[in-house]
Structure 1
């Protein structure tokens, strides 16, 4: 390592870690941390200010999607500036993407200080340094299945959790349960659901990592040209996330998958929170038990993720994506119906069995027109996930792989799965609303009487009439969309801006009259309010300045007269 002083820029959002690393490096006289930053914007500003004096010789940063885009920006603006990744992350795919993005070296945060100093020395001398990681510096590891004990542990744990959930459900269905006992068993159920989610996250059934093209070619060559293994041989599958990635994927494609995975993971986490409807308007899924509601939304989330993987594999274009929007949503709805109810689920009806799914799928056209076609930003969401196109929300463009884009794509994804869930339950309410088997297996205990169900359906029908005749024309005229989003407390409604001029021009009939009424109100209301305010000020002036003063003078005269009479009476005495 050279004896010259190495100026280091430290980028990490953990101030305690920055302090510790700075203190550790201070023991080495040829190393100096000249600046620290907790965000990429701050780091770029520091580098610009230090170009002429005490220029930075090396950057140390933590790994995240934001920092991947930062490393690309750094390599574009400062191609000769070495970047050392010092992170707690050990995911081979993420590290591979970082390497492709321009990172020159990697050390884990648990590495000894001497190892980090050695890595700094190699990077400043023009070499690279990747801490011992199985075959990582040369290529991304091949697919490695989880060990057998790993799968057994996961399977046994899930079986125990499911058995406990069945017992808890039986307790909650007891009619003699006190409020205190019900509170206890509800808490127990939430704990078990959280434990099940953690097991699925921490103990995936199989972990398979994408391999690079060079390694794949070498392995195929060593196998003597064993081809024709079909589509699965060209894919790497993550069972935990349900993601299919072409094995020849580039770093940008891998980054797309990671970003998509983050969006879906965040949405899945929100499904574990409350799913109470807080919008003030009735939704089809309100009739479901909470567990069934969560199960349905989870199934749809998996199907959306799977269809994105299919689209990514088929290499669909932007033009084809827009053309196939209705078909994609129709496929999502159909597979969600079949998975939620069961492809061969039947109900006894007289002397025969009714195939529930076949009957529900007959309402495809009605669901498409009433629900699926009204879902906004479907093409934009899929294009953002597949092609990294900027996401334009509220007339602001959010580039891919930024935290803001992740948040907003999550909002669009949540609205999509909630609306699809409404579409799954809608034909059930139209065909089997008052069927006892359906009520016992799916409905909320507060909505099982025939009167409650009839009231629920009537309110739902009125909501759609109101939406079609009043709410939708108003939203079109105001250039906004209403979205359903998941929060920690439940499902809420939010509005975002979107140009809807074409829809406004196509309004006809009563919807057109409603938009004209809103326009007339906007035109007349300010003038009318101004006129009323002017008349009101005149009335107030007349009452206070004219009548009020007159009454005041009269009262004053009366008081003076009474005073004079009282004084005369006193003097007369």
Structure 2
């Protein structure tokens, strides 16, 4: 790699990843990230503005943004500008399409920084770099033309889908889009993504021939032996023919995608209805305007869908999913905070500007402990979406695609996004509760006075104390979880059964005392009620049968005496 400074344009819709990569590349004095973009339109605008001064030497982009239209347009407008694909996806058909569209190199997002820097060096030197997968590191594949009509059909179909996706993305970025229109375009986007997946799976991709070691050495010549065109482990090796061909796609993958889409579509539809809090308990999102509440829940729903896709492509295992539960939730919370408030949103504070998101992210540990760690069934929901694992409902196992499993997964998803939304607003109430700019832009008009906000925060604080000291021990003792769900009329609370014996054994302090009090009440109450009932019946018998009859006889004697005296007086007259 030369000592000259390489100017890099980074295109990725994940702000956390962009920040991490920018920080990592800052350690190398000959590399400089001069601009960042989260959309293709922004990237093209940056390139046009930098044509004359500080021109970009290399583009790094994610596959979700490096669609055929963007890659082809970059190569058309800037044919000498190298493009490095840095993505978590490893689908060979996707990578082959990207290569045909003009991408010069590929690295996975899990690659070491030194590997990425080496790829940048090779691309800026006019070479290509395709990171090899471990299973095929001993041989480098090269493309062999497959039947022309197959290629043309596949290429034309993908180009039409990519063009339609670009139009849909432009529509979704419109600030004047109504809720109904947004629902329509989001559904259209999911249809196009499913169609693209089907085309990549069903239509034949390029056939790839594995070269022998001698042929590879002759072809590489003076090039460094590090680069190579890699393909993922889903390629099946045909040793008799010496070729690599895509293995037959599993039908379960399509089923997972369709079921996930159905669950998310149903949740998105419920977001368009009422979002009034009908639980009887205060929630953090109650302070938001209805439109802001709907926007926040929609953002979180999109982030959950995106992280499921990323986990699916990274081929995470069940064990890793359980281990990374807290990290996944924290990532979801962070990207939701940045997307909802805006990464660079600032507030005037005296003579300086406060970076709102940076301040909110400082409360990550508190939000993790108070809200995120308390969300139940996160691993079960993700495992069901990723691996089609059955869901246990009232001690009965329901396989994926059954109506019961679909309904339960929808409930778990709705509770997840509502609790994440509460976690997004919680640090806002702790840091900027009574700030006028925040009240004007986000708060419900009925909760904008200082007194109303103070009352709201106090009620919220008391709810968490009651939850920790009374409600949660009771729920643990009764083996149930309280979940927040979306209905046609608003947000309601529902209870579902789940064994919580381990949590019950770990209760300490006042929570343990509360559980003992409930147990004593359950043990004493029936006997006490029986005793009181028996004593009550005895008292009633004594009052009615003994005292009542005695009083009746006395009254009867008095009446008879009065009657006799009256009769004697009458006869005497």
**Which range, TM-score by smaller chain?**
0.5 to 0.7
Pair 1:397–1:453, CA change in 2 (3 A): same
Are 2:150 and 2:203, in contact at CA under 8 Å, matched by a contact in 1? yes
Question: Contact 1:193 / 1:272 at 8 angstroms: preserved in 2?
Answer: no
Change (3 A) 1:467 1:12: closer
CA distance 1:347–1:520, shift in 2 (3 Å): same
Asked if structure 2 preserves the Cα contact closer than 8 Å seen for 1:372 and 1:420, the reply is yes
Q: Compute the RMSD of aligned alpha carbons.
A: 23.7
Distance 2:280 2:25 in 1: 57
Shift in alpha-carbon separation, 1:368–1:214, aligned structure 2, 3 A: farther
Evaluate the alpha carbon distance shift between residue 167 and residue 76 of structure 1 in structure 2; reply closer, same or farther with a 3 A threshold.
closer
Relative to structure 2, which stretch is displaced further, 445-454 or 114-123?
A: 114-123
- Range 257-266 or range 236-245, more displaced: 236-245
Q: Distance in 1 between matches of 2:111 and 2:281?
A: 55
TM-score by length of 1: 0.59
Residues 446 and 236 of structure 1: CA distance in aligned 2, closer, same or farther (over 3 Å): farther
Structure 1: gaps of 5 or more residues = none
Work out the CA distance in 2 between the residues paired with 1:523 and 1:74. 75
Change in Cα spacing, 1:32 to 1:550, as seen in structure 2 (3 Å) is farther
The aligned residue for residue 562 of structure 2 is 562
Using the alignment, how far apart are the partners of 1:16 and 1:331 within structure 2? 9
Residue 269 of structure 2 is aligned to residue 275 of structure 1: no
Question: Do 2:68 and 2:162's aligned partners in 1 also have CA atoms closer than 8 Å?
Answer: no
Q: What are the Cα deviations for residues 5-56 of structure 1, in whole angstroms up to 9, with x where unaligned?
A: 9999999999999999999999999999999999999999999999999999
Q: Judge which range, 480-489 or 6-15, deviates more.
A: 6-15
How far is 1:281 from its partner?
A: 0.6
Tell me, yes or no, if structure 1 residue 366 matches structure 2 residue 334.
no
Verify the 8 A CA contact 1:204 1:240 in the aligned structure 2.
no
Q: Distance in 1 between matches of 2:513 and 2:519?
A: 10
* Further displaced range: 516-525 or 92-101: 92-101
Comparing 462-471 with 246-255, which one deviates more in the overlay?
A: 246-255
Partner of 1:514: 514
Query: Which one is further off, 507-516 or 158-167?
Result: 158-167
Q: Tell me: CA distance 1:270–1:181, structure 2 relative to 1, closer, same or farther (3 Å).
A: closer
Q: Which moved more, 1:47-56 or 1:312-321?
A: 47-56
Secondary structure of residue in 2 paired with 1:52: coil
Q: Distance in 2 between the 1:406 and 1:467 partners?
A: 29
Distance between the aligned counterparts of 1:301 and 1:315, measured in 2? Answer: 21
Contact 2:131 2:228 in 1 (8 A): no
How far the C-alpha of 1:524 sits from its partner, in A, is 1.2
Query: Residue 239 and residue 455 in structure 1: after superposition, are their counterparts in 2 closer, same or farther (change >3 A)?
Result: farther
Q: 1:503 to 1:224 in 2, by over 3 A?
A: same
Inter-CA distance 268–311: structure 2 relative to 1 (3 Å threshold):
same
Show the counterpart of 2:434: 434
Distance in 2 of aligned mates of 1:524 and 1:243: 76
**Cα distance change of structure 1 residues 243 and 444 upon mapping to structure 2, 3 Å threshold:** farther
The residue number in structure 2 matching 1:256 is 256
Query: Contact 1:483 / 1:495 at 8 angstroms: preserved in 2?
Result: yes
Q: Structure 1 residues 512 and 5, CA, compared in 2 at 3 Å: closer, same or farther?
A: closer
* Structure 2: segments with no counterpart, 5+ residues: none
Alignment partners' CA distance in 1, 2:26 and 2:175: 69
- Further displaced range: 248-257 or 267-276: 248-257
Paired residues in the alignment total 573
Q: Deviations over 1:384-415 (max 9, x none)?
A: 11111110122221110111111110000000
Deviation of 1:525 (Å): 1.2
1:382 to partner: Cα distance: 0.5
- In structure 2, the CA distance between the partners of 1:88 and 1:266, relative to structure 1 (3 Å rule), is farther
Note closer, same or farther for the CA distance 1:246–1:349 as it changes in structure 2 (3 Å cut).
farther
- Distance 1:303-1:200 versus aligned 2 partners, 3 A rule: farther
CA 1:96–1:366 in 2, change beyond 3 Å: closer, same or farther?
A: same
* Structure 1 stretch displaced more, 64-73 or 490-499: 64-73
Secondary structure (helix, strand or coil) at the match of 1:135 reads: helix
Larger deviation: 471-480 or 232-241? 232-241
Task: Tell me: CA distance 1:540–1:27, structure 2 relative to 1, closer, same or farther (3 Å).
Answer: farther
Change (3 A) 1:527 1:188: same
- Structure 1's 331 and 108: CA in aligned 2 closer, same or farther, altered over 3 A? closer
Would the aligned equivalents of 2:210 and 2:244 in 1 still touch at CA under 8 Å?
Answer: no
8 Å CA contact 2:132–2:228 kept in 1: the answer is no
Are the aligned partners of 2:190 and 2:261 in contact in 1 as well (CA < 8 Å)?
no
Q: Is the 8 A contact 2:337 2:357 kept in 1?
A: yes
Please tell me whether the aligned partners of residues 346 and 355 of structure 1 are also in contact (alpha carbons under 8 angstroms): yes
In structure 2, relative to structure 1, the CA distance for the partners of 1:141 and 1:117 (3 Å cut) is closer
Displacement after TM superposition at 1:561 (Å): 2.0
CA distance in structure 2 between the aligned counterparts of 1:215 and 1:266, rounded to whole angstroms: 54
The aligned residue for residue 524 of structure 1 is 524
Contact 2:132 2:231 in 1 (8 A): no
Structure 1 Cα separation of the partners of residues 220 and 2 of structure 2: 44
Counterpart contact for 2:129–2:228, Cα < 8 Å: no
1:531–1:44 Cα change, 3 Å? farther
Question: Which is worse superposed, 363-372 or 18-27?
Answer: 18-27
Instruction: Check 1:400–1:182 CA distance in 2 against 1; reply closer, same or farther (3 A cut).
Output: closer
How far apart in 1 are the matches of 2:357 and 2:189? Answer: 29
CA apart distance, 1:567: 2.6
Alignment partners' CA distance in 2, 1:141 and 1:87 = 20
**Contact 2:207–2:243 (8 Å) recurs in 1:** no
CA spacing shift, 1:301–1:2, aligned 2, 3 Å: closer
Describe the superposition over 1:353-401 as per-residue Cα deviations: whole angstroms up to 9, x where unpaired.
1000000000000000000000000000111111111101222211101
| d(CA) in 1 for partners of 2:37, 2:361 | 56
